[in-house]
Amino acid sequence: MSITIHIYDDNAALRQSLEQLLDLSGEFIITGSFDQFIAPAAMPDIILMDIDMPGISGIDAVKKIRSFNKKVPIIMLTVFDDNTHILEAICAGASGYLLKKSISEKLVPSIKEMIAEGATLSPSVAKMIIQSMQKTPVKEQYHFSSREKEILEWLCRGNSYKMIAAGLNISFETVRTHIKHIYEKLQVRSATEAVSKAINEKLI
């Protein structure tokens, strides 16, 4: 089954390149391509959002989408490579973040990972997020186990379930179970919300 995608970017040449890149894979259907934010009439499977657009910025667009839809994955595409924009996008509800210089090789794998497992962050972006967060102990009111604290840190670094399992030498299903418990304790429903809450409350 094909994955439907909306693209928001004011650069017409880049939008065309993205469409061609996605068409070549044969796995995606472009259901909308816009040079500014227009609220989707029908929600696609995934949204690609430029952070710097005329009128409503990409970050504000994410906030608007999240006001009526918490689940649709939103990947930010941008030339910005600074902590402020990254944190604003994630805290607004972005599911992932890719720098435009990495799009040709990272976009398709990131979309597939997003659909399969949740948030995806490029290594450089994940590193900046971790560096920008104040290192304080996980708040004890959530009563995380030591393993849950560890997995939450890995999740906030942009690692997929498979990467966490490999890195901690535990099974995929064990990771899934721990993350389910993390969601329950944080009272969230997705990796995006978990990462956003961890950042906002300085949990790691």
User: Cα 105 to the chain's mean position, in Å?
Assistant: 17
Q: What residues does 78 pair with on adjacent strands? A: 99
- pLDDT of 19 reads 93
What does the pLDDT average to over 123-148?
65
Q: Answer for the pair 130, 162: CB distance below 8 angstroms, yes or no.
A: no
- pLDDT of 168 reads 93
Specify the CATH number for 133-200; select among 1.10.10.10, 2.60.120.650, 1.20.120.550, 3.40.50.300.
1.10.10.10
Question: Where would I find the H helices in the chain?
Answer: 12-25, 58-68, 83-92, 103-117, 123-132, 146-156, 161-168, 172-186, 191-200
Average confidence score pLDDT of the chain: 83
Q: What residues does 74 pair with on adjacent strands? A: 47
Dihedral, 17, 22, 28, 30 alpha carbons, nearest 10: 0
Query: How much of the chain, in percent, has pLDDT values that exceed 70?
Result: 85
**Residue 6 DSSP symbol:** E
Is the pLDDT at 187 greater than 90, yes or no? no
| Topology adopted by domain 3-129 | Rossmann fold (3.40.50)
Question: What does the alpha-carbon distance between residue 75 and residue 95 come to, in Å, rounded to a whole number?
Answer: 6
- pLDDT of 132 reads 59
In the block, tokens 């560096």 appear at 131
- pLDDT of 50 reads 92
Side-chain-side CA neighbours of residue 115 (13 Å): 17
Domain with CATH 3.40.50.2300 in the chain: 3-129
Domain with CATH 1.10.10.10 in the chain: 133-200
Task: Point out the least confidently predicted range of 20-24, 38-42, 82-86, 169-173.
Answer: 82-86
pLDDT band at residue 47 under the 50/70/90 scheme: very high
pLDDT in tens, 49-75: 998 888 899 999 999 998 888 888 899
- pLDDT of 121 reads 59
Is the pLDDT higher at 204 or at 58?
58
pTM: 0.66
Q: Answer for the pair 156, 198: CB distance below 8 angstroms, yes or no.
A: yes
Number of CB atoms found within 10 A of residue 119's CB: 26
**Residue 202 DSSP symbol:** T
